[in-house]
């Protein structure tokens, strides 16, 4: 089975400081990978490198494209990479405002990716927008409201709908539940888990919330100071942490 995403020795340096160093892993179709670690451990840097938003200083990232099989996304041309990032990839930002067009209605936000890949039938675009708002539990009568009129949780769900509407195969999520209160977090996680399973998505989720990875991720990677210190199956890593930092991380979770 070919991996969907193959990461080999990706490194990014900020001058003399390490962003992330020599990260390698394979992600298979349908698999959800969690990346945890403290602030400044290089999680977001790694994610941005993988999603083509930052140019890493070294390493290779292969993506299994529909047309041509494995391609190095770091060395493909910018038009190709931008095409990938609005068809087969999706990026969910921590702050929904970064991923949404705040001046455009919810329907327009969801429809943008469809129109970007050539949809030119208003009725069909709108029907798909309504369908997707329904899937992320936003009432259809809110379709013409702007995201500014939505609560934080709704904005995050709208961002997810906007990203998933073109049926991507790989979703990058940068702390999708950060900044939301716990009950909204739980609902969002439930929704995400349903969508990921239903659509057979692969996902890379960056978070510092261990509950999120426990619920969503099949595999887990623990990062500290730019290096991967431990990786394995989520339950295995969380239940039997081997590395000192992972043990600290697991034991730091507050029990209510």
Which one of 3-11, 28-36, 119-127, 183-191 is the stretch in contact with other proteins (CB under 8 A)? 119-127
Nearest approach in angstroms of CB 102 to other proteins is 12
Residue nearer to other proteins on the CB measure, 95 or 236: 95
Asked if residue 230 binds other proteins (CB under 8 A), the reply is no
DSSP per-residue codes, 3-59: -SEEEEEEEEEETTEEEEEEEEEEE-TT-EEEEEE-TTSSHHHHHHHHTTSS--SEE
Asked if residue 61 binds other proteins (CB under 8 A), the reply is no
- CA 181/CA 164 separation, integer angstroms: 23
List all residues 6 or more positions away from 216 whose beta carbon is below 8 Å from its beta carbon: 32, 34, 189, 192, 193, 196, 203, 205
Which one of 29-37, 116-124, 168-176, 225-233 is the stretch in contact with other proteins (CB under 8 A)? 116-124
Phi (first) and psi of residue 63, to 5 degrees: -120, 140
Among candidate residues 211, 210, 178, 216, the one with its CA nearest the CA of residue 195: 216
Which one of 24-32, 49-57, 77-85, 167-175 is the stretch in contact with other proteins (CB under 8 A)? 77-85
Nearest approach in angstroms of CB 207 to other proteins is 29
Nearest approach in angstroms of CB 116 to other proteins is 3
Asked if residue 55 binds other proteins (CB under 8 A), the reply is no
Nearest approach in angstroms of CB 199 to other proteins is 22
- Contact between 217 and 229 (Cβ < 8 Å): no
Residues at the interface with other proteins (CB under 8 A): 78-79, 82, 101, 103-105, 107-108, 111-113, 115-118, 120-123, 125-126, 143-144
């Amino acid at each position: 089975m070919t991996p969907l995403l193959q990461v080999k020795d990706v490194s990014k340096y900020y001058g003399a400081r390490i962003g992330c160093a020599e990260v390698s892993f394979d992600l298979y179709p349908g698999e959800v990978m969690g990346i945890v670690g403290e602030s400044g451990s290089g999680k977001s840097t790694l994610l941005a490198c993988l999603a083509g938003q930052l140019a890493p200083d070294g390493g290779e990232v292969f993506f299994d494209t529909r047309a041509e099989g494995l391609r190095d996304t770091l060395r493909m041309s910018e038009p190709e990479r931008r095409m990938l990032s609005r068809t087969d990839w999706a990026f969910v930002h921590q702050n929904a405002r970064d991923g949404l067009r705040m001046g455009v209605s919810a329907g327009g936000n969801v429809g943008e990716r469809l129109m970007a890949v050539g949809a030119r039938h208003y009725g069909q675009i709108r029907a798909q927008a309504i369908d997707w708002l329904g899937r992320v539990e936003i009432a259809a009568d809110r379709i013409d409201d702007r995201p500014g009129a939505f609560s934080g949780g709704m904005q995050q769900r709208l961002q997810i709908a906007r990203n998933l509407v073109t049926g991507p195969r790989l979703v990058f999520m940068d702390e999708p539940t950060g900044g939301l209160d716990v009950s909204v977090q739980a609902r969002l996680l439930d929704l995400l888990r349903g969508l990921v399973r239903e659509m057979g998505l692969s996902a890379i989720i960056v978070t510092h919330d261990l509950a999120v990875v426990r619920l969503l991720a099949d595999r887990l990677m623990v990062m500290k100071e730019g290096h991967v210190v431990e990786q394995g199956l989520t339950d295995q890593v969380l239940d039997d942490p081997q590395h000192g930092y992972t043990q600290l991380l697991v034991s730091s979770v507050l029990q209510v």
